[in-house]
Amino acid sequence: MRLILSRKGFDSSAGGCPSPVLPDGSLCVLPIPDPLSQIRYDDVSFGPRRLGKIARDLSGGRVRGGSGAHLDPDLVAGALPRQPGWRPLLGQTGSAQGHLSNQGVGEGDLFLFFGVFRRAEMVRRRWRFIPGTRPFHAIWGWLHVGQVLTVDDLAPETLPWARYHPHFYRGPDPGNTLYLASDGWRLPEHGSLMQGSGVFPRLEEQLLLTDPQARLATRWRLPGEFFPVGGKPALSYHSNPDRWRLDPPWCYLTSAARGQEFVLDLDAYPELLPWLARLIGTGVGTDNKEAGNG
């Protein structure tokens, strides 16, 4: 089984700012802009709110409610009206998909999604980032892969519930790939059935990747079990030992600024499974039964 730490959401280059942590601690992931997408920020619900105003205020107007939103991964049933049969899904292409393919990622593997966040507040009816706070990396969702499909190979009548997704509007692309969530899964030696996808609704310490004492978001503090001892294959893009420092119970990593898919072979790191089980256990799984209202 492979674990993929997958960077998704607004950042300084895509969107122009972090995603916000709202005053109640909610991790409000802003999908990156996409002029080809048929989804608008104003279409996407986040609880009682729409993403359009949040994105417009925090981006300084660079992103507007009518701008196209690359809602990917799409994990929350209530974010949009859904057709019957909807399942959470992720699209990948380009160098990111090439790396996943080279690493052998497929059915049965697990994506943990992380992004750049910063605490935000509303002042005079406008969202703003709280002065003096810093951006940081945090985990916000997961998807356990149940099926992998190449978009160019799909017949026009297949997956009617997924045709809204931005990866159906790219044109011919042999690398354009969809990862569909499984219905449920179990970790080896951890018998509880876990849901195939979901999100972590509020920021908690175990979701933080950035070292709380660090100034830069790319300086990570991870459970010590991530440390590549004894010739174990390191997290992809992080094979240089100078990036790592072990100081139990933690290890510290200077994470790669480039690359958005970091892959770890969990068969070489079985000691990480209890941490992973606890982490997923704190999330809110996607209930596909809520879908089909569109």
- Per-residue pLDDT band for 192 (boundaries 50, 70, 90) equals confident
174 is in which domain, residue-wise?
2-7+71-116+134-290
Q: Which two tokens stand for residue 114?
A: 């992380």
214-230 pLDDT, tens digit per residue, is 999 999 999 999 999 98
Residue 149 inside a domain? The answer is yes
Residue 15 inside a domain? The answer is no
Residue 60 inside a domain? The answer is no
Domain total for the chain? 1
163-179 pLDDT, tens digit per residue, is 999 999 988 999 999 99
Is the per-residue pLDDT at 41 higher than 80?
yes
Give the pTM.
0.96
Residue 46 inside a domain? The answer is no
User: Of the candidates 14, 6, 4, 10, which has an alpha carbon nearest to the alpha carbon of residue 27?
Assistant: 10
Residue 55 inside a domain? The answer is no
